[in-house]
Amino acid sequence: MKNYDVVIIGAGAAGLMCAIEAGKRQRSVLVLDHANKPGKKILMSGGGRCNFTNLNIISENYISHNPHFCKSALSRYTAQDFIYMVKKHQIKFYEKTLGQLFCENKSQEILNMLLQECRDTHVDIRLNTTINKIEQQAEQGFNIRCHSDVQEEIQCQSLVVATGGLSVPTLGASPFGYKIAEQFNIKVWPTRAGLVPFTLHPLDKEKYALLSGVSVKCTARVAQKSFSEKLLFTHRGLSGPAILQISSYWQPGETVAINLLPEIDLLFSLKKAQQEHPKKQLHTIMGEYLPKRVVESFLESKLANKTLKTLSLRELETVVKHFCAWSLKPNATEGYRTAEVTLGGVDCNALSSKTLESKDVSGLYFIGEVVDVTGWLGGFNFQWAWSSGWSAGQVV
């Protein structure tokens, strides 16, 4: 039987960060993962360039049943702290929009950095490993039965669960972390897909099918929450940053309000055009604001072909409603298959916000996406992984 100070289940962003910090404290650390490669989500993130953090990290950028829980970890290990590590490894990066930081080259650089730090701190990483049983020892620590090539037992003082959520099952996502929590009678909030595209009802899907590939700036709103970013029409429904963001707040059956021209007062602009270009047709004017295909899909040809001078105030208001108050009821989301994150998870109230340790099970920790903390699109979820992993790594 092998003995380690710390065993971490999950070789993703949070798990590797925790391993590095524990290793710096001269703890013997073993990272276990059932996948054949570490950090698969890191590699595919940000279109292969890894949106590794955001310059504007605040707790309001996170969704949780305990909205204050994330504050401690995020304040103790900040975006600037992670940027320092990135600079130390001479990884070139740039700010894209809204504080989002990406690698200039490939995501592999971030993973290589983490793996190098693990090597420097003598962390063992074991892949292709299945965990069969976890038992808490009578005195202290845990017994873990697992197998890769052979069946074996491992003992550890601290057990860290960094298994991620359910998003992108093709990368090996599983509910294993939630099952560990439930084994130790720790509450798990119901999970659902977040930062995920919408699918449309058949009639809407047919109506907007020709717009697949078209992207426009918009404001998408659900209840009191709204996001102003790009919307992308797809052959299945709607995607793009604005839709992914609002999907985390949307519940089945709710209506999404979408303004396709959030930066202009369309009624004022149409009235002005009516005076200056009375003979122009409506579709011509609208084509100055939006792609032609969007105009054709949202306006009936009879109205679209009218000259501005023939349009009544009521008709102008109808046009504004079509483009600035588009009310859409999605059919569903695309689910975990394409979701970037998982909402819900291990109850924050069962954990210490400073250390991420279970309040009732000594030596058991939960970090990263498995916890009921979900960030917005734009590097916020990676920062939660770094911060929660770092915080646990100071004490395991």
Alpha-carbon torsion angle 383, 389, 394, 395, nearest 10: 140
Number of domain units in the chain: 2
**Residue 311 maps to which CATH number?**
2.40.30.10
Read off the DSSP letter of residue 257. Answer: E
* Domain edge (last residue) among 290, 315, 333: 333
Please tell me whether residues 20 and 81 are part of one structural domain. Answer: yes
Please tell me whether residues 311 and 361 are part of one structural domain. Answer: no
Summarised one tens digit per residue, pLDDT across range 139-183 is: 789 999 999 888 999 999 999 999 999 999 988 999 999 999 999
| β-sheet bridge partners, residue 62 | 375
Please tell me whether residues 240 and 157 are part of one structural domain. Answer: no
Please tell me whether residues 211 and 322 are part of one structural domain. Answer: yes
Give the containing element (helix H, strand E) for 82. Answer: helix 79-88
Summarised one tens digit per residue, pLDDT across range 300-336 is: 999 999 999 999 999 999 999 999 999 999 999 999 9
**Residue 388 maps to which CATH number?**
3.50.50.60
Please tell me whether residues 34 and 67 are part of one structural domain. Answer: yes
pTM of the model: 0.95
pLDDT at 269: 97
Please tell me whether residues 51 and 185 are part of one structural domain. Answer: yes
Please tell me whether residues 132 and 64 are part of one structural domain. Answer: yes
Percent of the chain at pLDDT above 90? 96
pLDDT at 387: 98
**Rounded mean pLDDT of 370-383?**
98
Please tell me whether residues 229 and 269 are part of one structural domain. Answer: yes
Distances (CA, A) of 104 to 45, 84, 237, 270: 13, 16, 31, 43
Q: Any idea what the Cα angle at residue 60 is, between residues 378 and 375, rounded to 5°?
A: 35
Please tell me whether residues 325 and 232 are part of one structural domain. Answer: yes
Query: In angstroms, rounded to a whole number, what is the distance separating the alpha carbons of residues 130 and 178?
Result: 16
pLDDT at 252: 95
Please tell me whether residues 6 and 68 are part of one structural domain. Answer: yes
Please tell me whether residues 87 and 51 are part of one structural domain. Answer: yes
Please tell me whether residues 95 and 111 are part of one structural domain. Answer: yes
Count helices and strands in the chain by DSSP H and E runs: 14, 21
| β-sheet bridge partners, residue 54 | 100
- Domain, as residue range, for 312: 197-333
* Domain edge (last residue) among 333, 358, 381: 333
